[in-house]
Structure 1
């Protein structure tokens, strides 16, 4: 009986000791000063946003210093601050056990550049405006012509299709929008106009263009054309 009681007392003491040590450690961890932030970019191949820019945003959020306790850090507020930046699509901010502030940044992805009178800006993958950057210039198709009210979903899908396709992304460098909403495209290496028409049956039109291009290059006739018309979805009509 005495032995059983002694064991129970020992277990209680051990439990109290564990709780105390856990509370003590947690308290010390919360009072730990955060270390210099670690910044990671998911799409670092397009450096529209630099480490310095993100670091400055973090410093502004901490009122000019990182010398604060971990329990005083509002991670959600930091993420909201970063996500307001015109070049940032999404961010994730978290604290490691050793007090390091880790920031993962996904930049916006430009898929076209618009020239509208004296203004110029990017259209990102989600179809929203994105300002130009002094740090990096994206190699994307140039859009010009009747720009107003041309950001319908079908036009964004057209830009997304070009961006997602290796062949189109490499070859389509210009898109002119006519007043009636129809589109003319330019190829990187050839001077002919690609008469695309309206943004309907886009997949079939692009497939027709790819088939034409492969055959025309093999036949060495491609330099003779001035227009390649894709409006007739069952055939490609070329003009010399």
Structure 2
């Protein structure tokens, strides 16, 4: 009997102690203030669109003061939504520690192509949304030039580019896509001086499959530099046009100038390194 009463009293005392401790802790936390802000850019090794200062600067610019403010009173949803207005931020998570540290973890947007024209330049990210370029970082993505309007880039070309960059061979082959006013396309290879006329963006999977077969089976037998233009616009064939004599002469002249300029740049860089070493 007495043992049962002692057990009940013990549990009652423990519950009272926990209640008082919880009340004291909650009261202490309500009065505690933030001592510091830590910004974590989770994918900073992959791209450098965002720096920690971008996050803290926009919070300061919006009048959101964190250090010195009470932990309990901070509107974390407001902090999150404000951080996500930074152009390169895709998502943000905001949380705090009992020690008074506010952590802000951000994930960057991932561009898949960059459009460049005479008047504008911007990225299209992995979600098909326009993304401004950065002064501090240039992403190594597919370059798109020419007469592409925004609707065409999003509705049609976005799918073509995604298909190319997900294929190891095609991604290593194509460095640039040129868009003509009638929305036909031309692919620019990374190596060589030939061009690949694509036609419109329709049936892109079939056209790119033909291109892979052509590079795999035809070009190794005749040489990668035999044709000036490869045409994929025809439904059941690949049409390749050889270099004319005039085209070869022009191509060789351009190569000579390019090689000469390249040698000059290499010599200049070597001289600069030697000066720095001395």
With normalisation by structure 1, the TM-score equals 0.88
Distance 2:52 2:135 in 1: 14
Please tell me whether Structure 1 or Structure 2 has the larger radius of gyration of its CA atoms: 2
Structure 2 runs not aligned, ≥5 long:
243-278
Matched residues in 2 for 1:125 and 1:56: separation? Answer: 26
1:43 counterpart SS class:
coil
Are 1:72 and 2:73 an aligned pair?
yes
- How do 1:32-181 residues align onto structure 2 when only pairs under 5 Å count? 32-44=32-44, 45-60=46-61, 63-148=64-149, 149-181=151-183
Distance 1:79 1:201, change over 3 A: same
Q: Deviations over 1:54-79 (max 9, x none)?
A: 22224445645511121122111111
- Check the 8 A contact 1:112/1:142 in 2, yes or no: yes
Deviations 1:79-111 (A, max 9, x none): 111111211111111123433222221111122
In structure 2, C-alpha distance between the alignment counterparts of 1:202 and 1:121, rounded to whole Å: 24
What SS does the corresponding residue of 1:89 show, helix, strand or coil? strand
Q: Which residue, 197, 206, 209 being the options, matches 1:207?
A: 209
1-10 vs 179-188, greater mean Cα deviation: 1-10
Provide the residue aligned with 2:188 in structure 1.
Answer: 186
> Which protein has greater RCO, CA pairs closer than 8 Å, 6+ apart?
1
In the alignment, what sits opposite 2:223? 221
Q: 8 Å contact 2:55–2:86 — kept in the other structure?
A: no
CA displacement at 1:234 relative to structure 2? 3.5
| Distance (Å, rounded) in 2 between the aligned partners of 1:11 and 1:183 | 78
Cα displacement (A) at 1:47: 0.2
CA spacing shift, 1:137–1:164, aligned 2, 3 Å = same
The alpha-carbon deviation at position 18 of structure 1 amounts to 0.8
Matched, 1:14 2:17: no
Aligned CA-pair RMSD: 2.2
- Greater share of helix: 2
Contact 1:61 1:78 in 2 (8 A): no
- In the TM superposition, residue 158 of structure 1 has moved relative to its aligned partner by 1.3
**Inter-partner Cα distance in structure 1 for 2:97 and 2:177:** 47
- The alpha-carbon deviation at position 134 of structure 1 amounts to 0.9
What displacement does 1:9 show? Answer: 2.8
1:185-213 C-alpha deviation (Å, 9 max, x unpaired): 11111221111122222222222222322
TM-score scaled by structure 2? 0.77
